[in-house]
């Protein structure tokens, strides 16, 4: 077995089930990995100011957020790459013309182009977003990420005319008209590579799990990339492994195939791991 040293975990559809709960098997896997000295990062498209409850429940203190634009290791910022102001202004203009909505993520707030639109409210509710504010062109905060909302089938190519940008459909039921804006050079894979360099960890000793197309670069940036069984079918081409669904112990089963959890077979083992971890 390789000397695995770090695990990167997407949140929605990977750590979180559709009912917004975290499976006990996932908690087991993370607790045992940490007990063995393996670093665990949450790696999400979400803004970091909206994931504190998830991180606290899992006792994780290291994160990649905003689809790779920001990274924190044990409370220390190690990566901060805002989007170009010209890109942000261009997307706001396109969205207004197409009657799309969008949320722009700063380090502290979610800036929505509308607070009343039904699709926007659905988006807020699904992700339990709390730090919301109406976007203004006078906003001077650096924008770390964007999600486009309420797109029609023919809209995505109009945003992708910028060759350094591509869109990734949000892989959650009820949000088929929503797309994350992914920078070709600043994405989860870019952030993973920077974290590995910072911690002096080889790619071969890194593991990642994801379910959406915004995870493809991340799965390619590690030695052991797992696509969840519920993943976007297009993601499987970028993953070395395919595990079971988030509702069927996907993270646990994936780590077990690598030999990390071979001694864990029951809930009592899980509880023992948590006691030892605390």
12 touches 50 (CB < 8 A) = no
Q: Quick check: 16 pLDDT over 60? A: yes
- Establish whether domains 6-80+186-277 and 85-183 are of one fold: no
Of 251, 81, 99, which is closest to residue 183 (Cα–Cα)?
81
Q: Quick check: 40 pLDDT over 80? A: yes
| Domain ranges (residues) in the chain | 6-80+186-277, 85-183
- For 263, the token pair is 């001694």
Q: How confident is the model at residue 184 (pLDDT cuts 50, 70, 90)?
A: confident
226 touches 211 (CB < 8 A) = no
Of 109, 41, 106, which is closest to residue 78 (Cα–Cα)?
41
218 touches 225 (CB < 8 A) = yes
Of 156, 161, 96, 104, which is closest to residue 133 (Cα–Cα)?
104
**The pTM is what?**
0.87
Query: Distance between CA 196 and CA 175 in Å, rounded?
Result: 32
Sign of CA dihedral 269, 273, 276, 278: negative
Q: Quick check: 263 pLDDT over 90? A: no
Q: Output the pLDDT for position 173.
A: 74
Q: How confident is the model at residue 140 (pLDDT cuts 50, 70, 90)?
A: confident
What is the tens place of the pLDDT at every residue in 195-227? 999 999 999 999 999 999 999 999 999 999 999
- CATH architecture, domain 6-80+186-277: 3-Layer(aba) Sandwich (3.40)
Percent of the chain past pLDDT 90, that is, above it, reads 81
Quick check: helix, strand or coil at residue 37?
coil
Of 14, 20, 6, which is closest to residue 209 (Cα–Cα)?
14
Query: Given strand 179-183, what is the order of strands in its sheet?
Result: 132-134, 110-112, 101-105, 145-149, 179-183, 165-169
What is the end-to-end Cα distance of the chain in Å, rounded?
A: 27
Query: How many residues comprise the chain?
Result: 278
- Out of 3.40.1390.20, 3.30.70.260, 1.20.120.520, 3.30.1240.10, select the CATH number for domain 85-183: 3.30.1240.10
What is the tens place of the pLDDT at every residue in 70-82? 999 999 999 999 9
Q: Output the CA–CA distances (angstroms, integers) from residue 67 to 37, 83, 124, 267, 268, in the order listed.
A: 26, 11, 18, 33, 36
């Amino acid at each position: 077995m390789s000397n695995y040293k770090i695990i990167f975990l997407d949140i929605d559809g990977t750590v979180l089930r559709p009912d917004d709960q975290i499976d006990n098997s996932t908690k087991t896997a993370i607790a045992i990995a940490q007990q063995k000295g393996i670093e665990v990062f949450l790696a999400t498209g979400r803004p970091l100011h909206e994931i504190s409850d998830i991180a606290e429940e899992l006792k994780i203190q290291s994160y990649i957020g905003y689809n790779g634009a920001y990274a924190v290791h044990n409370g220390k910022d190690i990566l901060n790459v805002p989007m170009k102001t010209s890109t942000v202004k261009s997307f706001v203009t396109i969205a207004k013309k197409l009657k799309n909505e969008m949320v722009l993520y700063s380090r502290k707030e979610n800036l929505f182009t509308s607070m009343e639109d039904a699709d926007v409210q659905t988006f807020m509710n699904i992700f339990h977003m709390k730090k919301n504010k109406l976007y203004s062109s006078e906003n001077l905060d650096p924008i770390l990420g964007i999600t486009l909302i309420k797109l029609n089938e023919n809209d995505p190519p109009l945003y992708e005319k910028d060759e350094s940008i591509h869109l990734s459909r949000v892989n959650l039921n009820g949000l088929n008209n929503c797309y994350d804006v992914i920078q070709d050079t600043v994405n989860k894979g870019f952030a993973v590579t920077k974290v590995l360099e910072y911690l002096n960890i080889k790619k071969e000793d890194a593991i990642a799990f994801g379910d959406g197309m915004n995870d493809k670069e991340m799965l390619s940036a590690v030695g052991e990339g797992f696509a969840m069984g519920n993943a976007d079918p297009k993601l499987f081409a970028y993953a070395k492994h395919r595990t079971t669904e988030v509702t069927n112990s996907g993270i646990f089963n994936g780590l077990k195939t690598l030999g990390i959890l071979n001694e864990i077979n029951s809930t009592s083992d899980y509880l023992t791991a948590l006691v030892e971890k605390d």
